[in-house]
Structure formats: structure tokens, C-alpha cells
Chains A and B, each alone.
Chain A
Amino acid sequence: MSVLMLLAAIAVLAIAAFFLARQRALASTQGNPRLLHSLPGYYGWYGAISVLAPALAALILWLIVQPMVLEARISATLPADLVADATTAELTMADVRRVAGGLDTAIASGAISETDAQALVTGATDIRALLAKSGVALAAEVSPEVLTAAQDYRTQAHWGAAGRTALILVLAVLGLFWGVTRAQPEFRARNQVERVILALLIAASSIAVLTTVGIVWSMVSETFDFFSKYPYQDFFFSLTWSPNFRGGSDLGIIPLIWGTLYITLISMLVAVPIGLFAAIYLAEYASRRVRNWVKPLIEVIAGIPTVVFGIFALVTVGPALRDWFAEPMGLGNSGSSVMTAGIVIGILNIPFISSLSDDIINAVPQTLRDGSLGLGATKSETVRQVILPAALPGIVGAILMAASRAIGETMIVVLGAGAAAKLSLNPFDAMTTMTVKIVGQLTGDTDFASPETLVAFALGMTLFVITLGLNIFALWIVRKYREQYE
């Protein structure tokens, strides 16, 4: 019985349990729900849960454990030279699985009968041709050991599936009886059902933590792998980045960090003044009507996908900067440059800074403004000498968060900054960033044994630590220096 069929069977049993338990609870009080502890539906739900919970848990456990047990048992029967070390064992087992899967397909398509498949011998039949006919391509001829192992694999998997079906159906039926027998008037069905719901809610909220754990675990393990193949001193302190997939590459992070920070700096030079002044104008000067129109328009920028900004950098901003500034000034002839990427990331960050600062400026109490104006200050003096100092921690926090977004930005730099890792001061030079190199090293054919691929995880880890650090620092500043007004 396939897993899908099994799930369907469990679902049918659960529905049956719902109605049986509900019926029984009602019947036990001669159809008077007021004599029950809980509403009749809760007895039904309790019945359904007692079918679903044990059966599904057992199914998941079985699906995880069976392949592991099966592999261990099959590889124990294989000759020692085929499972000499971890890599060859893995390859042999992959072969076994593929041949077994191929036999399954061949039987399903009617090319061979079940008994014939188990009786196959390598010398007598061309197994490769047989499997190719049913659409399974094999790289090499099948060795006799692998074929026997594959046949064993099939037999055992077959028995495994039968055992799974039996166990789970028995569990589901037992659950049904349990759930239905407990449907008595004094049974507190609602409390039980609510406990299950609460457990589900807790599980859902833990996914966020699991994601973080997953991120950290995936990067830490591969980063350690990387540092076992490549010295960490070279990674952190080397001034050259020249990966070479034939080996002997220099993987120094410093040029990438330089490119990243240079682009971030330029983007902040664009975004901070524009964003801040826009926020001040909208909060202090603009009429209600202007504000209602302009604020959403600026926020439209934040809703546009970054790949669109990337195309804008590639097609419009890059060539314009090259033709109007870089070439006339003799600073280079590259369309993709630090300047291009920096300016476009700056535009992307304007709404981020302006709406955060806008909120913060609006949170400064009106009494401070009134006091300052009452002493004779002009509006701009009030803003500069009273409101901005009061709002400063929040604004610094917003700027730091925007910087962390600029550091982690990917599509704009991939399309606008270039791919050459360089240490240069010329803003019209093409330079590259950590995110560009993560994309570069991990797209296309990747080999997870070479440092050239694994370096991407070390870069990702560095990026994660930097952005997380900036965010935590920003939150800390906001929390520490925030003025509390009554």
C-alpha cells in the first residue's frame, strides 16, 4: 500500500472516528447535549485526534528509519571493496537504489514480471538495456553484487512496506476504539482537544527558532569543512581573491569586504540625506494632503523587487555614469561600478530610512516643539536643535538597519557592481562584494568537496554575523538611548 493510500485510509478512519465518538457521546445522554461535559463536537475531535496522532507519528518515524536500517543491512551484505570508505559506499548504494528503482519501473511498465526480476542474473540478461527500455539510464554495466543487492533491497523494501501498512492500520484502528470508548458524559474532551491545539500552536511558533538553528547549522558545518581545507589566516588576511577550480586559488576575503563596505558607504551617502530630509519635510512641513500623497509614493520604491533595481543599474544608471562622469574624467570605462551599485542601493534604501525616521520624528512629543517655538526659534532651528537630538537614537538605529540591508543586498550588486575583486579607491572601478561571490561560487556546477565552493558558506557566515551584529547593535542603541516621554 503506497504512502498516499495509507494517508487516505488514515483520513477515512479519522472521519469515521469523529462521527462515531460524537454519536456515542450524544447517545450516552439520550441525545441531550447539556448533560455532556463538552460540546458534542469536541468528543468527535478527540476521536479523530486519537486516530491521527499515533498513526501519523508512526508513519513519519517509519519513513525516516526504514531507509537507514535497509541501507545498513544491504551494505553489510556487499563485498568489502565496494564499501571500503564512505564515498565508495555511498556510490555503491546509489547504484543499488537506482537498479532497484529501475526494476520497479520495469515491472510497472510490464517489461518484466515480478518473478523474473527477482531471478535475473547479470550474465544471462543485458540489464542495462532492459532498464534503458523502461526509461532508467545507467552509467555503467551492472555488477553481479549490485544486482543481488538490488534484488535484496527490493525484497526487504517490499516487506518493510507491508510491515508499515500493517502497523499503521492497527494503530489507527486502536486509536479509533480508544477515542470512541472514552466518549463518556463526564470525560473532559474539550480540555484534551485544546491541549492538542495548544501543542500545535507552540510547534508553529517554534519554526522561527528552527529556521535560525537551520541557518546557523548549515553554515557552521560547511564553514568548518572549508577551514579544514583552506587556512583561515589566508581567508581573513589575504589581499587577493582569485578562485581557481583547478586548485591553488587565493580566497582572501579582504577585497570582498572592501567592495561591500565601499558600496554600502556610497549607498548611505545617497540614502541618509535624502531619506532624512524627506522624512523631516513630511513630518514637519508638509500639509496633510501632500503627506497623504507623497508618503505612499515614496513607499512604492520599497515594494519594487530588487531585481528591477538591478536591471535599472545595468541598463540605465551604469551606462549614464560611464558616459557622463567616468569617461570624461578619465576614471575608467566600466558601466558596472561601485558608484552604480551604491547609488541604486541608496535609492532602494530611501523609503526605508524615510519611513522609519518619519515614525521616530512623529513620536517626539508636541510639547517639545511648542516649547522651542515659544522661545522664538524658527521651525528649522526647532528641528535641528530640539527634534533631531531627541530622535537621534532612533534615527541612528534606522541608519544602521539600512546599512545592514545594503551589505546583504544581492541582485543590485550582481547586476551593477561587477565581478572583479579589487582593492581600489576609484568609485568608478568595477568591484565586487561578498554576496556577488556567494552567488558566483554556488551557481552552476558545484562540487561540495572543493574549497572554491565551500568558501561561499564562509562568506555567508561572515555576512550573517555582520548583518546580525549591526541589527542587534541598532536595537541596543535604540533601547539604551531612547527618551521616555510621559
Chain B
Amino acid sequence: MTDISAAGPARHRPRQSILTASANMKRRNAAEVRFKLYGLIAISLSLAMLATMLFTIFRDGVSSFRQATLSFPVELSAETLDPTGNRNPEDLRKVTTVGYQKVLSQAFVAELQARGITQDGVSDKQIGDLISRDAAGTLRAQVLANPDLIGTTIDATILAAGRVDGFLKGRVTFETAVRDNQINPDQLRLVEQLRDAGIVQSSFNWGFFTNPDASDQRPEAAGLGVALLGSAYMMLMVLVMCVPVGVAASIYLEEFAPKNRWTDAIEVNISNLAAVPSIVFGILGLAIFINFAGMPQSSTLVGALVISLMTLPTIIIATRASIRAVPPSIRDAALGVGASKMQTVFHHVLPLAMPGILTGTILGLATALGETAPLLLIGMVAFVDNYPSAPPEGFLDPATALPVQVFSWASRADPAFIERSNGAIIVLLVFLVIMNVAAILLRRRFERRW
């Protein structure tokens, strides 16, 4: 064997200009273009999905901020509402909502007759069905609060039934009404006339923000009042419980902790807790806070405790990062002029780390605000139509939370609740956007490069 044969037969490459691409080079360049295209497709896909999601939610949800109401004069006749005639609150209470409902539908029918609005095939009862079932209760509360109204005629503006509301928003149409046992096309034709006459109007839905939840039959009266209050209570408690503990833990781990097994255990625990599924925290809350410690179910206190435990790792991680970002020269200088280690941390390091801690806290709270799964397990999904009382007793009252309300409305049968659910999401997203923008602004304003 010779050296020449070892080198093998010389490969004969075709002579080629470097100015024109070879077939090989063309293939490689095409691969390059494809590869870049995949990346572009990936990014556009994910942004498109985000856009689709936000678009569908806004499309379906914005209409829940408007609400159809009926306005017509109601004569509060004394003989039905106060049969004894003595205006005694005890006796007034004996007239139930059924009595008020009768008053309302009679007044409504009378108003239609007076205005000359008629529609074939719609009975008086069906005309009364256009009024929300919630309206009678509202009117009753109004009369009980002010018995002098009895015997007068008031200009009532009351909620229209959910289907009427849906018709004005385009959710209910003549086609769907044919299959609907709550409304029929004739009633819808009547509603069209009422709209032209200005009796049915659509206006901004303040009740959506203030009303408590309502039962399955009355989607038009359902609001976020209890949920907003519950979420606010929880965020307040999470803030009070999480921030001091989280900051104290971070200070210890960053500035004081010796390297030993205990601090190692704490470190591993914190990073693992951040990865534990949120539902597991719900199990913890149910088993320990409710079953073992006997705290009241559905209360915002238990919810806040569970969410605090979940948020703690996030806040600790953010706080540690911002404490670490304070340069050692600051500490050296403080120690050099005679401050103790504790004074150095509390007088110098902590104030400098404060903007970072605040940003981390706001972002942690934003995540906490959207947390749903653990709250389901501790009973916050229960139907609550009473506002929790003022703190601190209110912390023990049953309440619900914004994301949980989104979920419980989505699980109801009536499509009107899907609209409300999307509306609640919009409210939730607005809060999240505000918190995130605040965090970004804080960071921009106070960020310091050392």
C-alpha cells in the first residue's frame, strides 16, 4: 500500500465560479430561509392566538356593560301593598315579592294600553314576563325603605328580563326565540315596538359592578359586587401577610443565613413551592385551615391564607434578586462607619432595594388576583348573594372572588351568563393591566444601574 492509494482517488470537483451559488449552497441557503420562516411562523402563531383570545373575550363581554331597562309609571296602590292601611313596617313586610310583581306587571300592561302599543298573540302574562324577576324585589326594598311612596305613582326604571336584554344586544334573535321557552317571537316584536316608543332603553350597567350574584333565572341582575369586595379583602390580607414575611425571609436568606443544612432546606423548599400546582395549595387549605383549624368555609380569610402561601415564593424570589442587586460597596461603607450588620441592612440595603421589592410585590399580587383553582376547594365557588360585612368581621364572612365568579358563571346553562363571565374577565384584565403598568412605571422611575 502506498501513500497515494491511502489518500484514495482524488475527488474531482467541477470547476465553478464563486459568484454563482452551487447546488449545495443553494440547498443550504434555502434551509436557512426555511429555518428563519419557522421562527417567524412560531411568533406570529403565538401572537395570533393571544389576539384571538383577547378579541373573542372582548367581543362576547363588552355587551355586559350595557343593560336594558324598562321605564314606565307605576302606581303603588295602597290596597295591594298595605292591606291594613296603617303603614306599619311589620304589616308592609307581609306583602311578598309576588304582590309587587303583580303591581309591576299590571302597571306595565296599563302603560302599553295607554300608549296604544299592541301585539297579537301576546297575553298580559307574557307582557309581564318581559320584566325581570328581580325587579319586584328591588321595588319592595325601595317601598319598605320609604313607606311614604305607597299611594303615589312613581316613574320606575327597572331591569328588563334577560331575554329582552339579549335581544337588544343581538344575542337573542327571532330564530332562537322559536326554540326558547322563556320568550317567543311575538314578544320580541313587542319589544321592538317598545324600543321605538322609548320604553325599553339600554344604558350603562352600573349594577354589574355593585349587585351580588343572582340565581339562574335572573342573569340580568347578576353583578360582581360580592366578588369585587371578596377579591379586595383577599388582596388586602395577602399584602399584609405576605410582604412582611416575604421581605423578612429574603433578608435572612440573603444577608444573614449561614451555609448549613437548614438554610439549604429552606432554599430548596422555596424553589419547589413555586412549582407546586396551585390546586395542591387548595387541598392544604381545605385540610389544615378548614378541617383542622376550623376556620369558616368560603371565607376570604382562608382564601387569603392559601393565596399568601402561594404568593410567598414569588415575592421572596423577587425580593432576593433586588437585595442582591444592591452593590456590596454600600454595605462595606455602612459597616466601615460603624453600623451594625442589622443597621446596614435596615438603614441602607433595604431602602435601596425597595423599588425592586415593590415591583415584585405588585406582580405577585397580580398573579394572586387571577388564581382560581385553590379557591374552588375552600368553598368560594358557593352561591353568595350577601355582601360580606366590614372588616375585620367581614374577613370571616362567605364571599367569592373575581376569577371564581368568572368560573361559576361560565358553568351555568343560560348563555346570558357567558356574556357576564366574559364581562367579568374584562374587569379582571383591566385590574391586571393596571397593576402591571404600575409595576413597569415603578421600575422605569426608580431603576438604578450601579
| Contact B276 A347, beta carbon cutoff 8 Å | no
Are the CB atoms of A201 and B248 closer together than 8 Å?
Answer: yes
Interface string of A279-313 (1 = CB under 8 A from B): 01110010000000010011011011111111110
The distance from the CB of B364 to the nearest CB of chain A, in whole angstroms, is: 12
A404 to B278, CA, bound (A): 12
Per-position 1/0 for A445-470, Cβ under 8 A of B: 00010000000110010011001100
Please determine whether A274 and B436 come into contact, CB atoms closer than 8 angstroms. Answer: no
Q: Which of A303, A350, A351, A442 is the one whose CB lies under 8 Å from B286?
A: A442
The complex places the Cα of A471 from the Cα of B201 at a distance, in Å, of 56
Are B342's CB and A468's CB within 8 A? Answer: no
Contacts of B34 in A (CB 8 A): 380
Contact B284 A215 (CB under 8 A): yes
Do A205 and B249 touch across chains, with their CB atoms under 8 A apart? Answer: yes
Is A204's CB under 8 angstroms from B279's CB?
no
- Quick one: which of B49, B272, B406, B436 has the most chain A CB within 10 A? B49
Given A312-B56, A438-B283, verify A303-B366 contact (CB < 8 Å). yes
Of the listed stretches A10-18, A159-167, A178-186, A406-414, name the one at the interface; the rest are far from the partner chain.
Answer: A406-414
Interface size on B, residues (CB 8 A): 87
Residue A57 is within 8 A (CB to CB) of chain B in the complex: no
- B50: chain A residues at CB < 8 Å are 297-298, 300-301, 347
Partner of A305, one of B40, B256, B279, B370: B370
**Please, which residue of chain A has its CB at the minimum distance from the CB of B45?**
A274
- Neighbour of B284 across the interface among A214, A315, A347, A414, CB < 8 A: A214
Is the CB of A206 closer than 8 A to any CB of chain B? Answer: yes
Cβ 8 A contact of A200, one of B40, B41, B248, B377: B248
B252 with A202: CB separation less than 8 A: yes
Q: Does A125 contact B (CB under 8 A)?
A: no
Q: Is the CB of A378 within 8 A of B28?
A: yes
Q: How far is the CA of A402 from the CA of B157 in the complex (A)?
A: 52
CB B328 to nearest CB in A, in angstroms, measures: 20
A404 proximity list for chain B (CB < 8 A): 275
Contacts of A350 in B (CB 8 A): 46, 49
Chain A residues near B422: list those with CB within 8 A.
Answer: 311, 315
B340 and A190: CB pair below 8 A? yes
Chain B: minimal CB distance from A421 (Å): 17
Asked whether A347 and B425 contact (CB < 8 A) given A411-B372, A471-B272, the answer is: no
Compute how far the CA of A197 lies from the CA of B346 in the bound complex, rounded to whole angstroms: 11
State in angstroms the CA–CA spacing of A472 and B277 once bound together: 14
- A314 in the interface, Cβ–Cβ < 8 Å? yes
Q: Does A88 contact B (CB under 8 A)?
A: no
User: Contact between A205 and B46 (Cβ–Cβ < 8 Å)?
Assistant: no
- Given the known inter-chain contacts A204-B252, A380-B35, please indicate yes or no for A464 contacting B266, CB distance below 8 A: no
- Contact indicator B273/A308 (Cβ below 8 Å): no
In the complex, are the beta carbons of A297 and B406 less than 8 A apart?
A: no
A242 interface residue, CB < 8 Å from B? no
Whether B312 contacts A207 by the Cβ 8 Å rule is yes
Q: Within 8 Å CB of A204, what residues of B?
A: 244-246, 248-249, 252
In the complex, A218 has a CB within 8 A of chain B: yes
- The answer for the CA separation of A209 and B35 in the assembled complex, in Å, is 46
Distance in angstroms between the alpha carbons of A212 and B376 in the assembled complex: 21
CB distance from A267 to the nearest CB of B (A): 13
Binding site of A, secondary structure by majority: helix, strand, loop or mixed? helix
**Contact: B279 with A408, CB < 8 Å?**
yes
A-B pairs under 8 A by CB, number: 253
Contact A410 B278 (CB under 8 A): yes
Q: Which residue of B lies closest to A38 (CB)?
A: B340
Q: Is the beta-carbon distance between A209 and B248 smaller than 8 angstroms?
A: no
With A204-B252, A308-B428, A435-B277 as contacts: A281 and B40 at CB distance below 8 Å: yes
- A439's partner among B45, B279, B421, B436 (CB-CB below 8 A) is B279
A212 to B313, CA, bound (A): 12
A201 x B31 contact (CB < 8 A): no
Tell me the complex Cα distance, A407–B266, Å: 25
For the complex, is A401 an interface residue (Cβ under 8 Å from B)?
yes
B266 touches A314 (CB 8 A): no
Q: What residues of chain B lie closer than 8 Å to A311, measured between beta carbons? A: 57, 406, 410, 421-422, 425
Tell which of A211, A218, A378, A438 touches B279, judged by Cβ atoms closer than 8 Å.
A438
| A224→B265 CA distance, assembly (Å) | 26
A448 to B340 alpha-carbon distance, docked (Å): 53
Instruction: List residues of chain B with CB within 8 A of the CB of A467.
Output: 275-277
Q: Is the CB of B376 within 8 A of A439?
A: yes
* With A208-B269, A442-B377: A298-B291 Cβ-Cβ less than 8 Å: no
Residues of B within 8 A of A411 (CB): 372-373, 407
B370, A307: Cβ atoms closer than 8 Å: yes
Taking a contact as CB atoms closer than 8 A, the residue among B46, B249, B369 that contacts A274 in the complex is B46
Q: Are B248 and A205 in contact (CB under 8 A)?
A: yes
**Are B39's CB and A281's CB within 8 A?**
yes
Q: Which of B29, B38, B53, B410 meets A316, CB within 8 Å?
A: B53
Contact of B280 (CB < 8 Å), options: A197, A276, A463: A463
Cβ–Cβ < 8 Å partners of B265 in chain A:
209
Instruction: Check B277 against A308 for contact (C-beta < 8 Å).
Output: no
Find out whether the CB atom of A309 lies under 8 angstroms from the CB atom of B53.
yes
Q: Does A21 contact B (CB under 8 A)?
A: no
Asked if B295 CB lies within 8 Å of chain A CBs, one says no
Q: Are A463 and B266 in contact (CB under 8 A)?
A: no
B236 at the interface (CB under 8 A from A): no
**Neighbour of B373 across the interface among A221, A303, A410, CB < 8 A:** A410
Give chain A residues whose Cβ lies under 8 Å from the Cβ of B275: 401, 404-405, 467-468, 471
CB of A443 within 8 A of chain B?
Answer: yes
Is residue A399 within 8 Å, beta carbon to beta carbon, of the partner chain? no
Please judge, given known A-B contacts A303-B436, A408-B280, A443-B377, whether A201 and B273 are in contact too, CB under 8 Å. Answer: no
User: A208, B273: Cβ atoms under 8 Å?
Assistant: yes
Residues 8 to 46 of chain B near chain A (Cβ within 8 Å): 28-29, 31-32, 34-36, 38-43, 45-46
A370 interfacial contact with B, CB 8 Å = no
Nearest 10 interchain pairs by C-beta: A408-B277, A305-B370, A281-B39, A218-B287, A204-B248, A380-B35, A277-B42, A410-B373, A201-B252, A205-B249
Chain A residues packing against B (C-beta within 8 Å): 190, 194, 197-198, 200-202, 204-209, 211-212, 214-215, 217-219, 221-222, 273-278, 280-282, 285, 294, 297-298, 300-301, 303-312, 314-316, 347, 350-351, 354, 378-381, 383-384, 401, 404-405, 407-411, 414-415, 435, 438-439, 442-443, 448, 456-457, 460, 463-464, 467-468, 471-472, 475
Q: Could you show 24 A-B contacts with beta carbons less than 8 Å apart?
A: A198-B252, A204-B244, A204-B249, A209-B265, A214-B288, A215-B284, A219-B287, A278-B43, A281-B38, A281-B39, A297-B50, A298-B43, A303-B436, A305-B432, A307-B404, A311-B425, A316-B52, A383-B35, A408-B276, A414-B407, A415-B410, A435-B279, A442-B377, A467-B275
Spell out B's residues near A (CB within 8 Å): 28-29, 31-32, 34-36, 38-43, 45-47, 49-50, 52-53, 56-57, 60, 244-246, 248-249, 251-253, 256-257, 265-266, 269-273, 275-284, 286-288, 291-292, 309, 312-313, 316, 340-342, 366-367, 369-373, 376-377, 379, 381, 403-404, 406-407, 410-411, 418, 421-422, 425, 428-429, 432, 436
Extra 11 A-B pairs, beta carbons < 8 Å, given A280-B39, A378-B32: A201-B248, A221-B287, A274-B45, A277-B39, A277-B42, A281-B42, A305-B403, A308-B53, A350-B49, A414-B407, A464-B277
